Structure 1
Amino acid sequence: MSEEQSNSSCASNLPSASITTEMPSGPVSTSSETPSTSTETPSASTSSQIPLSSSSSQLPSNLTSNLAPETSNPSTSTCAEKEKKIDPMKLKILCIHGHRQNGAKFKVKLAAFRKIVDKYAYLSYVTAPHAVADTTGGGDQDPRTWWYNTEDNNYSGKCLGGPAYGFEETLEVVKTGVRDLGPFDGLMGFSQGGCLVGLLAAMQQKRLLPYRFRFVIIISGYLSGSLVHRGFYEHNLITIPSLHVYGETDSMIPKEMSESLANKFNDPVTFEHPNGHYVPVSGPVKAVYEDFLADMYQQRLIYRQEVERTAE
């Protein structure tokens, strides 16, 4: 059962749940939220300077990156060396999966998306800290959630007025991902992950994060209905550049929910595809991804040039 189909009722107080940070050590991907037919703690804000891309040879098991270290093996062919060489000017994006997914599954599901954005960006992935029961019958391994908002320690995207149990642990997981794999130019989130990305953008607007990013891509995202999150959306519009993609026939997260989140941003780029709850990668949406990231890439180059001129 996916996050939006949960019949669990909302509660103001949830019983304590066992929290584990044991994550699969393999590559990170999407989950049972995506139809099988698809290919697809607060502190002062820090500087927005974006240093060169880097990667770690040893990462925590809940973090995965597409960045490959440069080879030092003299027997490796020149072609292979070029393929593994890191382009320091490419954008770096942290990808945040949905409910009942994990980072490794999200990476697998985003294989086609990675090919579309490869010209402009490297993708990294992080896994949610909270385990949830797999009631889908699909055999997915290690389903995770970013926070609970129901009385049975589960999650529903349509739940209004509930708590956000475990959200502080989630903030720590994202902060660790930024520290170990970042810094990042942008965040990309799907479904509950899109909801989380929207919250992080709102928190950055209020200077409540210890890191910064310059844009967001939100797919099938929505406003959190948890009471403790409402204050993040209040007052000014979120000024960070944003791309919002959602499905016209999405029954899990109706397009009106995604539009409500997009309306919290100043001058958002929106794209409505004709299908349901998944990450679309075919048709006109490909150009939408490419155009948005091309703009973000160009802004990064301009920023880098300004930094270099200032340093002279």
Structure 2
Amino acid sequence: MSEGQSGSSSASNLPSASIIDTEMPSVSTSSETPSPSTSTEAPATATSSEAPSATTSSPGQIPANFTSNSVPSTSNSSTTKSPDKLEKEKKIDPMKLKILCIHGHKQNGAKFRAKLGAFRKIVDKYAYLTYITAPHAVADTTGGGDQDPRTWWYNTEDNSYSGKCLGGPAYGFEETLQTIKTGMDNLGPFDGLLGFSQGACLVGLLAAMQQKRLLPYRFRFVIIISGYLSGSLVHRGFYEHNIITIPSLHVYGETDSTIPKEMSECLASKFNDPVTFEHPNGHYVPVSGAVKAIYEDFLADMYQQRLIYRQEVERTAE
């Protein structure tokens, strides 16, 4: 994973929309209780360097640039699977958590999903995961990165990015905020956000902005993996005089040279009573060993809180 590597791209050629990939049914499962909506399976996520043009849809519907693999395809499915199996596949748990997953620099939503295969199995009991792709393209100068590498913003004058850069700009950040809002409008609300590396930095920023009531949507918890404080000058005000009160889980590597653990610990210190876990390795999403129980315990707590909240809402409505 190439968070610390920089890439270049012409700002004038930025794509106008993002790609969002989801394995979540179209029925809302957040702590809010909007009416369910249904949709057939959308086309596969695009992988070209140009993102698809913006689509329009009413909140709760899945536009063409969203995909779902939790609801079976309607094409020829009845000829290949028994009715009992189809009914089982269509069944969803409306109480499951909904989590928006935000990839790192030089990744994209589809690749991030592929790299989270083992993580998905761990959290499947508690959550549906949705994957969103950053709006800005970057050049892979190493030749070994992901296809269609993306970034959430640039923090240098030459439109590159480094997590260790201090005092730079945040070119493209407004487009990123709009991308996240589009995801929230079309598939949200979400109970939580999960981010890795630059995506974890973005999750920390969004949590800080929510604490200051600067966002038009809300979420209830965050999972931050290899996260850090943004060094961009325009972001500093979000962290000032601000203790973030929502539940948070912070996972980082002892030997991470891309985002040293001290950077992750500094971000964790901005949260009230954060749950932290330090694994012995480097810059990736760990899924084996003791961290598995950490993920499960944290999400079990968030799941239980959601059940309690729903029960309180139902009692109030009686």
- Normalised by the size of structure 2, how large is the TM-score? 0.83
Match of 1:306 among 295, 308, 312: 312
Question: Would the aligned equivalents of 1:63 and 1:126 in 2 still touch at CA under 8 Å?
Answer: no
1:124-143 matched pairs, under 5 angstroms: 124-138=130-144, 140-143=146-149
In structure 2, the CA distance between the partners of 1:110 and 1:24, relative to structure 1 (3 Å rule), is same
Distance in 2 (CA, whole Å) between partners of 1:65 and 1:219 is 25
Superposed displacement of residue 27, structure 1: 7.3
Distance in 2 (CA, whole Å) between partners of 1:55 and 1:205 is 33
Match of 1:51 in 2: 33
Match of 2:3 in 1: 3
Match of 1:68 in 2: 71
Question: Would the aligned equivalents of 2:19 and 2:132 in 1 still touch at CA under 8 Å?
Answer: no
Letter in 1 for 2:249: L
Match of 1:170 in 2: 176
- Normalised by the size of structure 1, how large is the TM-score? 0.85
Match of 2:208 among 202, 208, 216: 202
Matched, 1:110 2:105: no
In structure 2, the CA distance between the partners of 1:15 and 1:69, relative to structure 1 (3 Å rule), is closer
Match of 2:270 in 1: 264
Match of 1:297 in 2: 303
RMSD: 2.7
Superposed displacement of residue 130, structure 1: 0.2
Question: Would the aligned equivalents of 1:19 and 1:129 in 2 still touch at CA under 8 Å?
Answer: yes
Match of 1:19 in 2: 14
Letter in 2 for 1:110: L
Match of 2:105 among 91, 99, 106: 99
Match of 1:240 in 2: 246
| 5+ residue gaps, structure 1 | 9-13, 29-47
Aligned length: 288
Superposed displacement of residue 23, structure 1: 5.8
- Structure with the bigger RCO (C-alpha within 8 Å, sep 6+) is 1
| Runs of 4+ deviating beyond 6 Å | 24-28, 69-72
SS of the residue aligned with 1:204? helix
The one-character-per-residue Cα deviations of 1:13-40 (angstroms, maximum 9, x if unpaired) are x984421146668779xxxxxxxxxxxx
Match of 2:288 in 1: 282
The one-character-per-residue Cα deviations of 1:271-299 (angstroms, maximum 9, x if unpaired) are 00000000001000000000000000000
The one-character-per-residue Cα deviations of 1:178-208 (angstroms, maximum 9, x if unpaired) are 1111110000000000000000000000111
Superposed displacement of residue 79, structure 1: 3.1
